[in-house]
A and B are shown apart, each in its own frame.
Chain A
Amino acid sequence: MMFMTPQTALMIGIVAPLVTALLTPFLGVRANWRDVAGPIGAVITFVAALHVAGDVMQGGSPEWVLATLAPGIDLSFRVTELGAVFGLVASGLWILAGIYSVGYMRGNHEKHQTRFAAFYAVAVHAAMAVAWSGNLLVLFVFYEVLTFSTFPLVTHKDSKAARDAGRLYMSILVGTSVVLLLPAVIYVWVMTGRLDFVSGGILKDAVSSEVVPWLLAAFAFGIGKAALMPFHRWLPAAMVAPTPVSALLHAVAVVKAGVFTMLTVVVYVFGIDFLSASGGGTWLVWLTSFTILASSFVAITKDDLKARLAYSTISQLSYVVLGAALATSIAAQGAALHIVMHAAGKITLFFCAGAIYVACHLTKISDLDGQGPQMKWVFGAFFIGALSIIGIPPTGGSWSKFYLMVGAADAGMVFVLAVLSLSSLLNIYYLLDPVARAFFKPKTRQVEVEWHPLTVWPPVITAGISIGLFFYAGPFLDLASAMVTR
Chain B
Amino acid sequence: MTLSQIIANLPGLVVAIPLLLAPVVALVPLSSLAWVLAVVGTGLSLICAVLIQGSVTGGASYSYFLGNWPPPWGIEFVVDAASALTVVIMSGLAFIATLFARQGLLAEIAEKDAGMAYAAWLLACGGLSGLVMTGDAFNLFVFLEISALSSVILIALGSGTDRRALVAGYNYLLIGAVGATFYVIGVGFIYAVTGSLNMADLAGRIPDVPQTTAVMVGFGFMMAGILVKAAIFPVHIWLPAAYSFAPSAVSALLAAIATKASLYVLARIMFTVFSGTPDVTAIAVEFVLIPLALGGIFVGTILAIYENDIKKLLAFSSVAQIGYIALAFGVASTAGVAAGFVHIGNHAVIKGGMFLAVGGFAIALGRRIDLDSMVGLGRRMPITTIGFLICGLSLIGLPLTAGFISKLYLVRALIEADMIFIMGLVLFSSALSVAYLWKIVEVLWHKPTVSTPVPETPGLYLPLWMLAIGNIWLGVAPAPLIEAAGRAAMQLVGGM
Contacts and interface: CB of A to CB of B under 8 A. Distances in A.
Interface of A: 66-71, 75, 137, 140-142, 144-145, 148, 152, 155, 158, 163, 166-167, 170-171, 174-175, 178-179, 182-183, 186-187, 189-190
Among B399, B431, B476, find the residue whose CB has the most chain A CB atoms closer than 10 A. B399
Given A70-B408, A148-B393, A190-B412, A182 B427 contact: yes
Nearest to A75: B476
B482 interface: yes
Contacts of A144: 398-399
B430 A186 contact: no
- 9 residue pairs, one from A and one from B, having the closest CB atoms: A141-B399, A67-B477, A68-B479, A175-B431, A179-B427, A178-B431, A144-B399, A186-B412, A190-B415
Among A66, A178, A189, A190, find the residue whose CB has the most chain B CB atoms closer than 10 A. A178
Contacts of B292: none
Contacts of A182: 407-408, 411, 427
B193 interface: no
A170 B434 contact: yes
Interface in B459-496: 476-479, 482
Given A69-B478, A186-B411, A178 B442 contact: no
B40 interface: no
B399 A179 contact: no
Nearest to B335: A190
A180 to B, nearest CB: 8
B438 A170 contact: yes
Contacts of B115: none
A191 to B, nearest CB: 9
Contacts of B428: 179
Given A70-B478, A70-B479, 20 more contacts: A67-B476, A68-B479, A69-B405, A69-B476, A69-B479, A70-B405, A70-B409, A70-B482, A141-B399, A141-B400, A145-B400, A148-B398, A171-B434, A175-B434, A178-B427, A178-B431, A179-B424, A182-B411, A186-B408, A186-B411
Contacts of A70: 405, 408-409, 478-479, 482
Nearest to A163: B442
Nearest to B439: A167
Contacts of A69: 405, 476, 478-479
B416 interface: yes
B404 interface: yes
A90 to B, nearest CB: 19
A142 B399 CA distance: 8
B2 to A, nearest CB: 39
Contacts of B412: 186, 189-190
26 contacts: A67-B476, A69-B476, A70-B405, A70-B408, A71-B479, A71-B482, A137-B408, A141-B400, A144-B398, A144-B399, A158-B445, A170-B438, A171-B434, A174-B434, A178-B397, A178-B427, A179-B428, A182-B407, A182-B408, A182-B411, A183-B415, A183-B427, A186-B411, A186-B412, A190-B415, A190-B416
A70 B428 CA distance: 24
A270 B446 CA distance: 45
Contacts of A163: 442
Contact of B430 (A68, A148, A178, A190): A178
A179 B426 CA distance: 9
A179 B424 CA distance: 7
Interface of B: 393, 397-400, 404-405, 407-409, 411-412, 415-416, 423-424, 427-428, 430-431, 434-435, 438, 442, 445-447, 476-479, 482
A454 to B, nearest CB: 27
A158 to B, nearest CB: 7
A66 B477 CA distance: 9
Nearest to A115: B445
A155 B404 CA distance: 25
Contacts of A179: 424, 427-428, 431
Contacts of B399: 140-142, 144-145
Contacts of B416: 190
Contacts of A145: 398-400
B477 A167 contact: no
Contacts of A190: 412, 415-416
Contacts of A170: 434, 438
Contacts of B438: 167, 170
Contacts of A137: 408
A68 B477 contact: yes
A70 B409 CA distance: 9
A163 B447 CA distance: 14
Nearest to B430: A178
Contacts of B477: 67-68, 75
Contacts of B430: 178
A145 B397 CA distance: 11
A167 B400 CA distance: 22
A171 to B, nearest CB: 7
Contacts of A178: 397, 427, 430-431, 434
Contacts of A166: 442
Nearest to A69: B478
Given A144-B398, A179-B428, A187 B434 contact: no
Nearest to B483: A71
Nearest to B423: A183
B432 to A, nearest CB: 9
A132 to B, nearest CB: 16
A158 B479 CA distance: 40
A66 B475 CA distance: 13
Nearest to A68: B479
Nearest to B478: A69
A210 to B, nearest CB: 15
Contacts of A155: 442
B376 to A, nearest CB: 11
Contacts of B434: 170-171, 174-175, 178
A75 B404 CA distance: 14
